[in-house]
Amino acid sequence: MQHLVDTDQFPLAQITQIMEDAKSFKQKRPPLLLRDKVIVTLFFEKSTRTRSSFEIAGKRLGAAMVLFDPSKSSTGKGETLEDTFTTLCAMEPDAVVVRHSENDTPQMLADMQVTPVINAGAGNYAHPTQALLDYFTMLEHFGGEVQGKTIAIIGDVVSSRVASSGIRLFTRMGMKVVLVAPKQFMPDRDDLPQYTSLDEVLDQVDVVMSLRAQLERHETPHFEDYDAYAKEYCVTKERMGERDILLMHPGPVMRNIDISDEMLDDPRCKVLEQVKNGVYVRMAILKLLLLDS
């Protein structure tokens, strides 16, 4: 039984397989490879993209998707997370996709070894399927090779599980990662170049990944005024100029704070392509964990 808690659990051959399967699924819809499978999604935090993407990915492969809604469950009667999980697993699903505010939850559930667990976002620790779809989007854009390319990750890096998983995967795949953030948003690490000025890095990067300020993870407000933040860190057309830079964002985008309206409509911006690719990458992940492992 194989789980996906973060991408470092996958050997390079499996990452390559996911990329190849996702590419082939995007070119031609596959047969219903998972038509006898049942997958439960268990989201304890809000989601627009990841949850629907997993649902569509599972359905495109013929799996039955069971959407567990904690707000309408016995969680409200005091049932523990472990009891909820073991109760659902007693119904013998073929996998559980989980999102939770605690960093350790996916690993804790995976360690029970009752069903494959797929991490759909845990605290600020990991969001592996986002990292894989971002990697796929960059491979597609750069013709299949990203080794040596430089990506600037901008914004609330310290609170971001997208940044955490992305940094681990992108550096492993040979990319250079630089962090751009005000000191409130910068993680305490010395292994990556850090900048406070976005304008300073734009001439040296191939990719810009903007991040949302994760207000729900801030115990106290980091900024009183996000307009002041936007003046320094919003990705605008004026700031980007004509530079040939791939612009990504995991969503949801805070318009005109993370990225300007104008740049969201610019062909360099691949936010919706990332969403589209997410379905194909999650199909490939489901195939790997439910059929191939």
Amino acid at 109: L
The correct pick among 7, 130, 159, 210 for binding ligand CP (CB under 6 A) is: 130
Stretch that binds ligand CP, among 8-16, 33-41, 80-88, 249-257 (CB under 6 A): 249-257
SS3 (DSSP) at 290? helix
Q: Kindly state the smallest distance separating residue 78's Cβ from ligand CP, in Å.
A: 27
Q: Which is nearer to ligand CP, 24 or 48 (CB)?
A: 48
Stretch that binds ligand CP, among 107-115, 150-158, 203-211, 250-258 (CB under 6 A): 250-258
Measure the CA–CA gap between 27 and 282, rounded to whole angstroms.
15
14 scored as a contact of ligand CP (CB under 6 A): no
Q: Which is nearer to ligand CP, 33 or 124 (CB)?
A: 124
Q: Which is nearer to ligand CP, 33 or 285 (CB)?
A: 285
Long-range contacts of the stretch 212-218 (C-beta < 8 A, 24+): 212/155, 212/156, 212/249, 212/250, 212/251, 212/252, 212/253, 212/254, 212/258, 213/155, 213/156, 213/159, 213/185, 213/254, 213/257, 214/124, 214/156, 214/159, 214/160, 217/123, 217/124, 217/159, 218/159
Q: Which is nearer to ligand CP, 174 or 252 (CB)?
A: 252
**Residues between 29 and 58 with contacts to ligand CP, criterion CB under 6 A:** 47-50
Strands (E), the chain: 38-43, 64-68, 95-100, 117-122, 150-154, 176-180, 194-195, 207-210, 246-248
The correct pick among 58, 106, 121, 155 for binding ligand CP (CB under 6 A) is: 121
Q: Which is nearer to ligand CP, 249 or 287 (CB)?
A: 249
Measure the CA–CA gap between 26 and 282, rounded to whole angstroms.
12
Q: Please give the size of the binding site for ligand CP, defined by CB under 6 A.
A: 10
Q: Kindly state the smallest distance separating residue 148's Cβ from ligand CP, in Å.
A: 26
Residue pair 98/50 in contact by the 8 Å Cβ criterion: no
Residue pair 118/290 in contact by the 8 Å Cβ criterion: no
Q: Which is nearer to ligand CP, 33 or 248 (CB)?
A: 248
The correct pick among 25, 159, 250, 287 for binding ligand CP (CB under 6 A) is: 250
The correct pick among 187, 251, 268, 273 for binding ligand CP (CB under 6 A) is: 251
Task: Note the residues at the interface with ligand CP (CB under 6 A).
Answer: 47-50, 121, 127, 130, 250-252
